[in-house]
Structure 1
Amino acid sequence: MKNTEASGQLVLTRHAEAETCADPSSVITLLADSDGTGNGFTSYRSTFAEGAVGAPAHFHTRATELFFVISGSLRVLTGEEVTVLEAGDFLAVPPHTPHAFAAAPGCEADVLFVFTPGMGRFDYLRLLGRVMRGEADAEEIAASAERFDNHYVDSPVWRAALEAGVPNAS
């Protein structure tokens, strides 16, 4: 049941048929990419092992990134603030806002991510998996910044939070 005509985007991804990208710290389940949604959205689900880092500080120029915590706790940087999202919490990060995320210390996290408009992120997520498994060079990630609208930035606040192992409470 998949309708990808421009007039109406019905998308159904069965759990048993969804592609996954796994590394030692997380499993990403690819749900819907922009090419199947008329560029309306991209969505995937990530499950993070206890304390696993999800993404370093970065921003997007074209899409809002939505986070919904299904279970566990997710530590998130937004701008210059670090907070912890708990199960049931929702966060929308607008374009040009530096952000980063990791499972909160001592916690696992299961998170639904949505980008709107869609961004064609699946190839980026596959690349990340290859780099984590040593099958690709990390330089490929830097070289793909424009293609995937993923621009890494330095964040002393995020570095300090990761080094301390505890969130800056908010």
Structure 2
Amino acid sequence: MTSKNSDFAPVLTRAAEAETASDPSSVMTLLADSDTTGGLLTSYRSTFAKGAVGAPAHFHTRAAEMFYVIDGSLQVLVDQEIKVLSAGDFLLVPPHTPHAFAAAPGCEADVLFTFTPGMARFDYMRLLNRVMRGEASFQEIKDSSERFDNHYVDSPVWNAALNA
């Protein structure tokens, strides 16, 4: 059944049935991708162990990325500034803004991520998971930057924060 006002059906992802991708430092729970949301959004949840790095510095050209911290603390690069988000904090990063994230030093983090508009990102999450497990190369991620709208940049500010 579809809504009268949309081109897609309501999306319900049950926790017990959601696809997960995990490595020793994080678990990603894939919730809704653009193909099921009429292109409106893509959303997933990640839990990070203490010291886990989520993503290096990058930006998106077509999507805004939203962070909602469910529990713990997340360290985030936003342009050239480091912010620490705690449980209940929300952050919206607009397109073309360099950003990166990791569990805050000494903390775990549980974070809901949403991209709008949505684009098929679950394949990127699966690729990222294979890289983290040593089953694919980082070059494959670099080669997919246009497809997944992930454009990596060098950030001395972020590198210094990670090495502090």
The alpha carbon displacement at 1:62 in A equals: 0.2
Distance 1:163 1:17, change over 3 A: same
Question: Partners of 1:135 and 1:118 in 2: how far apart?
Answer: 27
Once the two structures are superposed, residues 4-61 of structure 1 have per-residue CA deviations (whole angstroms, 9 ceiling, x without a partner) of: 8944541100000000000011000000000000000000000000121000000000
Aligned to 1:107: 107
Aligned to 1:155: 155
Point out where structure 2 has 5 or more consecutive residues left out of the alignment: none
State the superposition RMSD in angstroms: 1.4
SS at match of 1:45: strand
Structure 1 stretches of at least 4 aligned residues deviating more than 3 Å after TM superposition: 2-9
Point out where structure 1 has 5 or more consecutive residues left out of the alignment: 165-170
Question: Partners of 1:115 and 1:4 in 2: how far apart?
Answer: 22
Aligned to 2:71: 71
Question: Partners of 2:134 and 2:76 in 1: how far apart?
Answer: 26
Which stretch of structure 1 is more off in the superposition, 126-135 or 104-113?
Answer: 126-135
The alpha carbon displacement at 1:132 in A equals: 1.0
The one-letter code sitting in structure 2 at the alignment partner of 1:70 is I
Question: Partners of 2:30 and 2:115 in 1: how far apart?
Answer: 13
The count of residues paired between Structure 1 and Structure 2 equals 163
Question: Partners of 2:143 and 2:117 in 1: how far apart?
Answer: 22
